[in-house]
Structure 1
Amino acid sequence: MSATTSSGPSRARPHFWQAAWRFVVAVALATSAAGCASLPSNTGRTASTAFAAPQQTALGRLVQERRAREAARHQSGFHLLDSVDAAFTSRLALIAAAQRSLDLQYYAIHADASTETLLQALRDAARRGVRIRILLDDFNTVGDDAQVLRLAFEPNVDIRLFNPLTGSRSSLVGRLFTSLHDFGRIQKRMHNKLFIADNAMGITGGRNLGDAYFGSGDKSNFVDLDVLAAGTIVRDMSASFDRYWNDELAYPVQSLLSAQDLERLRQRPPDGGAPGGAQPPGVVPVAAALEPSLTASILPGVTPTGVVTAAPQPMDLARVRLVWAPAVLLVDEPGKIGPDDDEVDAGETVIDGLLQLMQQARQDILIVSPYFVPGAAMMEVFGRLRAKGVRIRVLTNSLASNDAPAAHAGYARYRERLLQQGVELYEMRATQEGDVAGLGSTPGLGSGGGGSKSGVSRASLHSKAVILDQRLAVIGSMNLDLRSQRKNSEVALLIRSRTLSREAARQVDAMVAQGAYRVRLEGGRLDWQAPPGASFPSARSEPDASLRLRLLVRLIAPLAPDEML
């Protein structure tokens, strides 16, 4: 793990796929030799770095002026993005304000209405001369979601795919099958999330880019948390981006597929017949690259020319409240995702650092992790902390709200032992009433039938945070599980601020009070207790989960090792 201080100090997660495929490797390897494919040589790529003089841009000057006007002692400022509105409009604002560079690093960018709005804004920024670099993990770039790669063929835009898979992008299953000979590498994924403008302001946290992360999912939505950062700490975020961007596992899109490849993928007929003819490479509007039927269904605010109508207004960055505080960026080294299974180049990881940090707690630890599989080392730390009287609270997903049943199987193994240690467990309810942590749809994008500021919506916890003694807050991409510790690369901000820590804790408390069960041991059995005054009942078994889902978890539980979940 790299930790640098500021001068002021899939749609779904791949858990299920990775766990399932582990059990067919032995059979598949015997039959897949003919289907194996290899990656091209990653040579000839050009190294590049972040814009070195942020003070020469409007954003950089804004940060300096605000720090001086507010007489801030520290050189980095922060603002919690705890609603879908703030999360979306802050990103629009960074794109609109950027003059020199925009650097985006994500695990997943999905092709839907919210992303189309952002991509359209990115295209506009590129055409006014802003250099755009997008670094994307390659796991989810299949089917319709592969169309975001068309942006790589725009002037002033570079896209690289980290740790790419081989095979056709028309099917995730097919790509996994053709990569089984390299299973040790493909199960490691770049999970980092950064959104940086002019090396002056940036965002990190749990959100990927897509409707489900901005309250407009068609089935369910993720309850998430980001933080907007300004000032010196952003240079550390940019340095982290540069390390991944220039790593040997970052492949330029053009080395993996061409504009014609994307065109053929777009034109693949639903009946499996031969694809239509390819068009020559060139500047193609992203919306126009999508199938007409897809555009009509998921891009209701997009005209036939690709112009987004009634888009939400960008956040006013000059007025947004900033908490000035010392901070450290925690980030895994790219070598953690190297080809070797021993992770000799990983060094100390973000999760290792968090475990060390937790042991310094004196009174209270609040953990928010959608996928919570503690493992032996974390259980030992919890035991020592509880022996010292430190209160530990964990908010995670219930089985019904979890989009990764295999991850829940891992968590369930530890649930009773955690409760016996005195750890307080809370599980997010899948069905939420009203607006839980800004779950409502983003203005101008429509709810798609999922999010709603009023009424009922399906929710899945996706926030990742650790708050210690109401004075230290860690917000980032990491989950408290062995996959984040050993397999995925992660990034997080450690901020020393009572104000921000208490603000984040209040948000978590509100989620618990409005829509989470407290899990207890009653008479040797698990009991899910609804909060006082809740409109939903308590339960004696996994609440809201179907019999089929409960049986699936029981089937997975004895087979999948913790580190795979």
Structure 2
Amino acid sequence: MIGKSLKIILVLAGVYLLYIVVSCVIVPSFHEPKADSSWKPKIDLNQNDIKGVSPDKVVLLQDREDSGLARLQLIKNAKESVDISTYAIHKGPYADLFFGCIFDAANRGVKVRILLDGIVNKFNQDLRLYSYAIFAHPNIELKYYEPLHLGKPWTWNNRFHDKLFIIDEEVALVGGRNIGDKYFSAAGSKGASNDRDVLVFTEAKRNKASVLTQMADYYQFVWEHPYTEKAVKKISHRKEALGKNKEKEALRSLKNAKDIYPLPINKDIDWKKDAYPTEKVYFLYNPHQRINKDPLIWKELVSLSEQATKSIYLESPYIVPTKKMLEYVDSEKITVNHLKVLTNSVASTPNLLAFSGYWFNRKEIIDSVDELFEYQAKTESLHGKTYIFDGRISLIGSYNLDARSTFLNTETMILIDSKDFAHYLQKELNKTIEQHSLQVLEDGSYKNDNKVKESEAAIWKKLVVKALSYVVKLVDFLV
């Protein structure tokens, strides 16, 4: 009898496993996204007569500590509303400070909304305790995008990768950082992740010409979307008490901030003094479709690549050009004079699965670009997603150059038309290249550089990347 029951269980488990493979692997391999026939590129690089039409100014946030400080200060200075979306919140001192600022703002009467991915955050016990406190607070709401449904495995691939802060609909922050210690740590911190953000200020609230209005409308759309659900729908008295204790802990962290965070979060900083004027700013995002999405951000990047004549700078933590992505590219139309690319090295990458997809295509990428550089570090990694065209158009945000960001995930990017900002961004990117990166030669070795030493990856890491590269090639549409 026991043997028969076990056999039934094994058969059912096998059927469910097959159901998962079909839903998560086989269907995405051939599913065609529904295209938006009305889509048009945002920018025509041949038009140079647009002058000073944008009410928006932008500030580049590159330093890890500055970026962390900006987030905390934005929340602390909020008067009416705080809307936040991010892929993940990682347990640690910075997350406690972050929630301390959230509860402090909400206690002042500020309305706070937080959107998170529904799978990667589901099993974060620390966040679960915070969700109990949020549920009990009248001024804070927390929602999950595409939470885990065991009966709907076709939804598992479509992750929420947005990173966006909107404060009082007057200032916003767009970038590629999640909430966690490694994104905002001090210089020399082991495991640090280097990225970029952009602060956006507008002259007038709810101005139709401002990108802030586009962002606010998008956030509202996602907040009300059928794929979005409340993180907590009801709690017991015991959980409510646990939440209250967690809120008190967060507020204590805020009170003792100087002992936790190296920068003075209570000191007012005039971020606007470093702001650049813009000709126009656009907010880009992928459509909210299940399985494969219409790759709107990728199409924008392809359009700009085909229009550019002078230079293209591309920075991504990993670059995995799949067959499906390349179907959108007409290589004969890309005639730019110089194409420069920066990504991680085997030594620096923390994401072996995604990086192995790049490693399989590395030789092809070397042959396709003018200069390929790899970041050299063992204790830090490159996490920035930065794209610059003809020293005029800059894009910064959450979009990686791979199929997952192209077809599966939600993504957010800011497109900035400003020669001055692009020039500054290009200079900062070149600093990273000159101080921390090595050029890859045609044979795959590094060009000798007296300033930068090659970071030698561990043998096991090299072997894993090489082995995974052959496996990932078979499912690169999921990576």
Could you say what the CA RMSD is over the residues aligned between the two structures, in angstroms? 2.8
Deviations 1:444-489 (A, max 9, x none): xxxxxxxxxxxxxx11101101100110001111001111001111
User: Of 433, 454, 477, which aligns to 1:512?
Assistant: 433
Aligned to 1:220: 191
Query: Which structure dedicates a bigger proportion of its chain to helix?
Result: 2
Match of 1:210 among 152, 162, 180: 180
Structure 1 residues 315, 197: closer, same or farther in 2, change over 3 A? same
Question: Could you tell me which residue of structure 2 aligns to residue 134 of structure 1?
Answer: 114
Aligned pairs for 1:309-348 (under 5 A) are 309-310=257-258, 312-313=264-265, 314=267, 316-317=269-270, 319-325=272-278, 326-335=280-289, 338=290, 341=291, 343=292, 346-348=293-295
Aligned to 2:459: 547
Supply the AA of the counterpart residue of 1:376. Answer: K
2:206 paired with 1:229: no
Q: Label 1:219 to 1:29 Cα distance change in 2 as closer, same or farther (>3 A).
A: farther
CA distance in 2, matches of 1:224, 1:384: 32
Structure 1 residue 259: Cα displacement? 6.0
Residue 138 of structure 2 aligns with which residue?
155
The worse-fitting range, judged by mean Cα deviation, of 313-322 and 220-229 is 313-322
Judged with a 3 Å threshold, the aligned counterparts in structure 2 of structure 1 residues 27 and 237 are, in CA distance, closer, same or farther, namely farther
Does residue 363 of the first structure (1) align with residue 310 of the second (2)?
Answer: yes
Gaps of 5+ in 2: 1-9, 21-50, 203-209
Identity across matched positions, percent: 27
Q: 1:413 aligns with which of 343, 360, 364?
A: 360
**TM-score, normalising length: structure 2:** 0.80
8 A contact 2:97–2:257 mirrored in 1: no
Aligned-pair CA distance for 1:150: 3.5
Q: Look up the equivalent residue of 1:156 and give its one-letter code.
A: N
CA gap 1:421/1:32 in 2 versus in 1, 3 angstroms: closer
Structure 1 residues 82-97: aligned runs within 5 Å: 82-97=62-77
Is the Cα contact below 8 Å between 1:99 and 1:130 reproduced in 2? Answer: yes
Q: In structure 2, do the counterparts of structure 1 residues 508 and 331 end up closer, same or farther at CA, with 3 Å as the change threshold?
A: same
Q: What are the superposed Cα offsets for residues 369-422 of structure 1, whole Å, 9 maximum, x if unpaired?
A: 002112236657484366x25311111111121121111111112211122234
Range with greater deviation from structure 2 (210-219 or 105-114): 210-219
Deviation at 1:233, TM superposition (A): 1.3
In 2, distance between residues paired with 1:319 and 1:112? Answer: 30
Inter-partner Cα distance in structure 2 for 1:418 and 1:221: 27
| SS across alignment from 2:467 | helix
Number of the residue aligned with 1:21: none
Give the conservation status (yes or no) of the 8 Å contact 2:130–2:246.
no
Aligned 1:71-110 pairs, distance under 5 A: 74-110=54-90
Amino acid at match of 2:69: T
Structure 1 residues 127 and 550: alpha-carbon distance in aligned structure 2, compared to 1, 3 A threshold? same
For the pair 1:240 / 2:218, whether they are aligned, the reply is yes
Residue correspondences, number: 418
Listed as ranges, the matches of 1:436-447 within 5 Å are: none
Q: Any runs of at least 4 consecutive aligned residues in structure 1 with deviations exceeding 6 A, and if so which?
A: none
Residue 454 of structure 2 corresponds to residue 533 of structure 1: no
The CA distance in 1 between the partners of 2:71 and 2:134, in whole Å, is 20
Match of 2:98 in 1: 118
Which residue of structure 2 aligns with residue 191 of structure 1? 161
Change (3 A) 1:348 1:220: closer
Following superposition, the deviation at residue 520 of structure 1 comes to 0.9
Matched, 1:143 2:125: yes
Q: What is the TM-score of this pair, normalised by structure 1? A: 0.69
Alpha-carbon offset, residue 423 of structure 1? 3.6
Contact 1:259 1:281 in 2 (8 A): no
Residue 345 (structure 2) pairs with residue 401 (structure 1): no
1:283 aligns with 2:244: yes
SS at match of 1:330: strand
Contact kept? 1:116, 1:286, Cα under 8 Å = no
The aligned residue for residue 480 of structure 1 is 401
Q: Following the alignment from structure 2 to structure 1, what is the Cα–Cα distance between the partners of residues 53 and 256?
A: 42
